[in-house]
Structure 1
Amino acid sequence: MAARMERERQVSCPQCGAPAPFRGTAVSLVCEHCGSTVVRTGLDVRLLGKVSAIVDDGSPVLLGARGSFAGRGFEIVGRLQLRYARGAWSEWFLQFADGPGWLADFQGNFAVTRPGPALAAIPTYYNMAIGTWHEVHGASYMVVDKRAARYQGAEGCLPFAAEPGLTFFAVDLAGPDDGFVTLDYGVDPYHTRPDVFVGRAVELAELGLDRLRRFEGWRD
């Protein structure tokens, strides 16, 4: 069964014919040969277009690196780079053995989150104000950031179709013990049941990544 499933994943890019190695729960990937976004629907694939190239932001994180969080190993299988009014940042897509996660990477600050239980109705994106407090799974969290961001670039595999030019809306909250929550409103800032991602702020070293990008002048 496992071998058959693996063969089913071995599809090719409709644009250039290169292998399109989808991983786990990935829905789309950026072809590393021609830069096209390929979307998987069942056993079929289709082209979505081309995303812009990743802009070098000096991040030490590398696609394909392996590490661990909360005692569970993961592999970095994709990257989404986004831009909003305050700057740009990356969201690295993590594949754990028991499901997906994200590593937020913004100017040397990092946080790991994983999908959490849904919340009861919560204010729309436009009604969430920075500095206000909200209860998330029994703990109080304060809104520390909200953003309407555009997809700037992508690489590797992602769990959704990263359509070029889309704008998505999200709110970040911080809580006790470095707790971190992201409310993902997707492309609809008016709905009241955003997807919930729960985790905490981390130091990059504690993830134990097996490889990092090195810069001239760095010392181990």
Structure 2
Amino acid sequence: MSGNFKLEIANHQKMIDELFAEQAKKQQAEADQARLKAESNHQTMLFLERFMDASIRVGSLNSSQVELYLTQIRKAYGDQATICKYVSVVTRLLTHDFYGVESNTFRPGNGGLIFKGESYKDSKELYEYFVSFMADFDPLDSQVWFDHILTQVFSDPTFLPAEVKREEWRTRFVPKLQELVEEANNSVSLPDLDSLTTEDSFLIQSLMGGF
């Protein structure tokens, strides 16, 4: 084997080694960047949770902060986590020891509701306030879950504050709320209007607000 051929082989091997080394360096840099990003996100989410806890505790939480928080929850964990956190924040506000909801009537649907010193004529008005406060949206798009929370608040004031801290909040309680909303949405199904007389069709559509 000539000296030139051996040199070519050595140079070729060196080039291969350098390529592998460069690739390994690139992969390590990408792994380090991903690890730093993950750690940064982890620390940020921990801070957001602590910030929310503190803001709820002292009553200083505002709509802009809620919107930022829910946006980050959705980006980090997805829609279902957003629903759980949304309901959690509302529940913690409603059950707060110092400024939480109270009622002058036995049943919350009959009015006399007070939250943070402000009066609300019924649960619908209070629900609409919370939708506005919670970044102007409701991920469940229904008052059903809110009324269920209110019922729990007044039937057992100690239940929800404890429940919201447990893992079952995510795996059982909130999914149950979603089931209640789904049942309510499907509880009244319209008949096929084409199979009805004009008079009956008019009656049903009038009842449903069609006219």
TM over 0.5: no
Short-chain TM bin: under 0.3
Higher helix fraction (1 or 2): 2
Q: Which of the pair has more CA radius of gyration?
A: 2
Higher relative contact order (CA 8 A, sep 6+): 1
